[in-house]
């Protein structure tokens, strides 16, 4: 599944890297931009789901919209 989501709270390149690395840990491919606040993800619904993705992002201190 491919999704385009908005993430609030990112303010630098490190924010992008944190999100990308933590999503990789749950088998989610991610492209993220702190400038636009856009997160493009691709994942297998048999391995993870949107709730787990949201949990990872919010645990880092960002808000998924």
The pTM is what? 0.93
Tens of pLDDT, residue by residue over 18-64, are 999 999 999 999 999 999 999 999 999 999 999 999 999 999 999 99
Q: Cβ of 18: how many Cβ atoms within 10 Å?
A: 18
pLDDT score at 31:
98
Give all domains of the chain, ordered by start, each with its CATH number: 2-64 (3.30.70.100)
Phi, psi of 42 (to 5 degrees): -140, 130
Tell me the C-alpha distance between 44 and 61, whole Å. 24
Length, in residues, of the chain: 65
Tell me the C-alpha distance between 60 and 38, whole Å. 16
């Amino acid at each position: 599944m491919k999704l385009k989501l908005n993430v609030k709270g990112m303010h630098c390149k490190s924010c992008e890297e944190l999100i990308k690395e933590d999503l990789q840990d749950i088998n989610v491919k991610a492209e993220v931009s702190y400038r636009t606040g856009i997160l493009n993800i691709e994942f297998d619904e048999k391995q993870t789901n949107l709730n787990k993705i949201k949990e990872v992002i919010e645990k880092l201190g960002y808000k998924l919209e």
